[in-house]
Amino acid sequence: MRKCSTANLDALLRTIAENASLYLPVDGTDGRAHFTKWEDGVKMSDALNTVRSAKDFFFPQTENLMDFKVEGKTIEIIDTREECEDFVIFGVRACDVRSFDILDRVFLVDPVDTYYKNRREHGIIVSMACTRPSETCFCRTFGIDAANPGGDIVCYKEEDAWYFDALTEKGQALLSKLESLTEECDTAAVDAQKDLIRERMDKLPLADLTADAFGGDKLNTYFNAPEWKSLSQSCLGCGTCTFVCPTCQCYDIKDFKTNKGVQRFRCWDSCMYSDFTKMAHGNNRTSQLERFRQRFMHKLVYFPANNEGIFGCVGCGRCLSRCPISMNIVKVMKELGGNA
C-alpha cells in the first residue's frame, strides 16, 4: 500500500497525465459530476457518482465502425480502426468497476468485439472506495463490496492522504511510476475506512434487498407475472434508464451518408424503444409491457442464465435517481420477488 499526501495529489495526477489521458469525475456547469479530461487546475468532484456511467470509455455512445466509398456499382470498404491511446480513468466506483466485467462477458466472448477490446486493453482503471454511499445504492445486493472495489489500482481517500494499492500488473506498473510522490505505508487507515464503509452499507435503506428470488432458472416464474402490467403502466418508453445504466449494452448499427461516402457507425440503443425489434414485416414486442419486461428479465434472468448466475445489474442506483417516472429495478425486484 502506498500513500500520497493530499497536498501532493495534483502532482500525482499530473504525473499520470504525462503518460496517458487522465479522466476523472469533475463537477460540470450543471452542478453534477461528469468524467472529464484532467488538466492543470481541474478539481476532482466530491460527488458519489457521475451522471453517466464509466462504460462510455469502452463502449462509447457512438463510434465509427468503418467507411465505405461507393462509386457506380462498386464498393470499397475502409477499415477505420486505429490503435487507441493509453488512458486512465480515475475514481471509478465499485459498481462501475463491476460493470466492466459484465460488459466483458458480452464483448470479449467469441467473436471478440475488437473496438471494445482495443479500448479495454489501453485503459487503466483506478477505482475508489465509497465512504458515503447514497440511499439509492444497492451494490451489495449483487455481491459488490464498496469497500473493496476492483480495477487495476484501488484508492482510498482520507482527509490528509490518499492510499493506493495495485491490484493488477498494469496497476503495479502505473503505481511504480508514482513512487517519488508516494510512500509505503501500513493499512491501518484503510482498514478503518473499510470498517466504516461496511458499517454504513449495513444501514443503507436498500441494505436488505436481495436478488435471491432471481436467476437463470426463473424464466417461467416471472415471464407471465401479472405484476408487469402495473409496473410498466406509466413507463414513458424513453431510454433514460438504459443510457445511464453501466451494464446496458444493446446497440444499433446505422449508416450515415456523408457528402463523399458512407460512414457505418454503431450507437447505443434501448430495448425500451418501440422500434427496437421492429423489422420489415412485424415486431415481436409490440407493447411497452413486453419491452419493459425484456429489460428487467434480461438483467435478472437471461443474463445470469448465460453467465454462471451473475446478474446484469450492479446496483449503482442511477436509474433510481434518473427515471422520469421513478420506476426502477429495485421496485421491480421488490414487486416480483415479494421481499418488500
Partner 1 sequence: MNTEALIPVVGVITDIRIDTPDIKTFRVVTPDGKKAFDHKPGQCAMLSIPGVGEAMFSITSSPTNTEYMEFSIKKCGCVTEWLHAAEVGQQITIRGPYGNPFPVDDAFAGKNMLFIAGGVGLAPLRSVINYVRHYRDRYGKVDIVYGSRSKDDLLDYDEILHEWMTDDGIDVHLTIDREQEGWDGHVGFVPNYVKELGFDTDKVAVLCGPPIMIKFTLAGLQELGFDKTQVYTTLELRMKCGIGKCGRCNVGSKYVCKDGPVFRCDELDELPDEY
Partner 2 sequence: MQMTEFKPKIVAFCCNWCSYAGADLAGNNRLNYPAEVKIIRVPCSCRVNPMFILRAFQRGADGVILCGCHPGDCHYTSGNYYTRRRMALLFSMLNFLGIEKERTRVEWVSAAEGAKFAATMNDFVAQITALGENKRLEDLRCKK
Partner 3 sequence: MQKVTREILLAKAAELLAAGTVNRVLGWKAGEFTYDVTPALFTTAAELEKDFVYGPFSGANFSKYLVKETRRDEGKVLVFLKPCDTYSFNQLLTEHRFDRERVYAVGIPCDGMADIQRIKDQAGDGVSGVECDGDNLIVHTLYDGDKTLAMADCLAERCVNCKSKKHVAYDELIGETGDVIDSHRFDEVEKLEKMTEDERFAFWQNELSRCIRCNACRDVCPACTCEKCVFGNPNSGVENKAISDSFEEKMFHVIRAFHVAGRCTDCGECSRVCPQNIPLHLLNRKFIRDIDNFYDEYQAGAEVGQRAPLVNYKQEDLEPSEAVERSGNNA
Applying CB under 8 A, the residues found at the interface with partner 1 are 65-66, 68, 70, 73-77, 79, 81, 83, 106-107, 111-115, 118, 216, 219, 223, 249-255, 257, 261-262, 264, 266, 269, 271, 276-281, 283-285, 290, 294, 297-298, 301-303, 305-306
Strand partners, 123: 87
Does residue 77 touch partner 2 according to CB under 8 A? no
**Mask for 223-262, x = binds partner 2 (CB under 8 A):** ---------------------------------x-xxx--
- Show Cβ contacts of residue 24 under 8 Å, excluding neighbours closer than 6 positions: 13, 35, 36, 38, 42, 44, 45, 89, 90, 91
Q: How far is the CB of 171 from partner 3 (least distance, A)?
A: 28
C-alpha 158/C-alpha 334 separation (Å) is 36
- Show Cβ contacts of residue 192 under 8 Å, excluding neighbours closer than 6 positions: none
Does residue 327 touch partner 3 according to CB under 8 A? yes
Nine cell digits for residue 108 = 470479449
Q: How far is the CB of 49 from partner 3 (least distance, A)?
A: 9
Does residue 180 touch partner 3 according to CB under 8 A? no
Q: How far is the CB of 325 from partner 3 (least distance, A)?
A: 5
C-alpha 315/C-alpha 142 separation (Å) is 7
CB-facing half-sphere around the CA of 176: CA atoms within 13 A: 7
Does residue 29 touch partner 2 according to CB under 8 A? no
Q: How far is the CB of 266 from partner 3 (least distance, A)?
A: 9
Which of residues 263, 277, 283, 321 is near partner 2 by CB under 8 A? 263
Nine cell digits for residue 36 = 472529464
Does residue 61 touch partner 2 according to CB under 8 A? no
C-alpha 120/C-alpha 166 separation (Å) is 18
SS3 144: coil
Does residue 141 touch partner 3 according to CB under 8 A? no
Contact call for residues 244 and 52 (beta carbons, < 8 A): yes
Phi, psi of 150 (to 5 degrees): -85, -140
Q: How many CB atoms lie within 10 A of CB 124?
A: 21
Does residue 273 touch partner 3 according to CB under 8 A? yes
Does residue 119 touch partner 3 according to CB under 8 A? no
Give contact residues for partner 2 (rule: CB under 8 A).
256, 258-260, 263
Interface residue list for partner 3 (CB under 8 A): 28-32, 34, 47-48, 51-52, 61-62, 132-136, 200, 203-206, 230, 233-234, 236-240, 242-244, 252, 254, 256, 265, 267-270, 273-275, 320-322, 324-328, 330-331
